[in-house]
Amino acid sequence: MPILPIDTGRYGSPEMRKIFDEENRLQKMLDVEAALAWAHSQVGNIPETDAKKIIQKASTKHVKLERVKEIENEIRHDVMALVRALAEVCGSSGEYVHLGATSSDMLDTATALQLKEAVNIIENRLNELESVLLERAEKHKMSITMGRSHGQHALPTTFGFKSAVWTREVARTIQRLQDCKGRLLAGKMSGAVGTQAGLGPKALKIQELVMERLGICAADISTQIVQRDRYAELTCVLAILASTLDNIASEIRELQRPEIAEAFEAFEQKKQVGSSTMPHKRNPMISERICGLAKLLRSLVSPALDNIPTWHERDLTQSSCERFVIPEECILIDYMLILMIKVLKGLQVDEARMRKNMDITQGRMMSEAVMLKLAKKGLGRQKAHELTRQLAIKSHNEQREFKDVLAENSTIKQLLSAKEIETVMEPQNYLGTVPKQIENVIKKTKKERKARGLAE
């Protein structure tokens, strides 16, 4: 009976869940057994006819999951259950199944095969997310909005600038994942405690052949298990990515508040329901889901790091833990990426409201621009700061336009003309290098995408 949201199909894409289902896991382990038999035949350890028979039967078409479970219930060993089930369908060739190998050779190499497929899906999602953010950065390059610090109005910026910042954050995760892959996607065929003694004098060649056939690299050296720093690194990378998605989703949630109302998740007005009791509600539910799942992703870092220590050459403390961690982190981050892409593609940006919100502080957001203008006019930076601060407080206390308070001050009248005050109070004139920075981000990101073989 399905229990968790992943099991019920509520969370996770079909393609990612398929990678970690029992049937596919069994097939990956059978693939490793087949590759081992083939490698033995290539170095003359077993007859080619027997290797071909094992390869032919190493499929879930012949080795049924139900039969493997039946044997496991009897002997209490999952890998040996698979070995026996495969040997059963191979006839006399079954004597060569699992020759010289240990359970972890199958388990860890099969995990590498699963992760190869999973990381490929995650990379594709990241490429799409990066593309969507690039489009947002270009589209809203000059969509002026209120920049905020401490939740307070600070200085003008643009929504395109926000998107460009997010673009590079995602780009860095793509780089991290690419760097991680070479260390992560490693299998092994090293036998008990890693000495390869059971595989014979041609053990290193057998390991090389197995990994070449499977399309992954061989661990440089391992004990009876592949060392878990590899998996922990992936978990850390995915946790960073989850926090990036959390960051973007949190901003969207804030911007959707009625008090701000600058950006909104798409809402299907004909059918979508925002609340079971408040018909007017339009909640940022997808962004909230992303933020919620990010908590879960980050919580997986600790057990992943705890899986690195092992007693001597191996124990089983990693096994039970990573049966949860590895599928969960891949399924959830994939799902979060799908959600984030959906939100950003359908995001509704209200530029008029952005400009209206900038008027809330009656122009006081331009105080830095005024201060620096006065400093350039010879007042001095510190005196200009104090004068502008006092006038900003006066504007706030009297609820008057900042430019009007400025215009009536005797010191400012001596230094700035009415036209200069109007000019310095225009937010569009105080965007600094925003357009250029966005252009640089777009150019750099497109260059990186081209290097990855993607269209601009």
Residues acting as catalytic residues: 150, 275
Which of 258, 288, 248 minimizes the C-alpha distance to 130?
248
What is the rounded distance in angstroms from the CA atom of residue 348 to the CA atom of residue 455? 26
Question: Any alpha helices (H) in 257-359, and if so which ranges?
Answer: 285-299, 301-306, 317-346, 351-358
CA 202 from chain centre, in angstroms, equals 41
For residue 375, give the DSSP letter: I
Q: How many helices (H) and strands (E) does the chain have?
A: 20, 6
Start-to-end Cα distance in the chain: 46
Helix (H) / strand (E) element for 156: namely strand 152-158
Kindly list the distances between the CA atom of residue 358 and the CA atoms of 106, 156, 239, 388, 432, in Å, as whole numbers in the listed order.
Answer: 61, 8, 35, 19, 17
Q: Residue 91 region, left (φ>0) first, then alpha (ψ -120 to 50), else beta?
A: left
What is the rounded distance in angstroms from the CA atom of residue 187 to the CA atom of residue 211? 7
Q: Residue 257 region, left (φ>0) first, then alpha (ψ -120 to 50), else beta?
A: beta
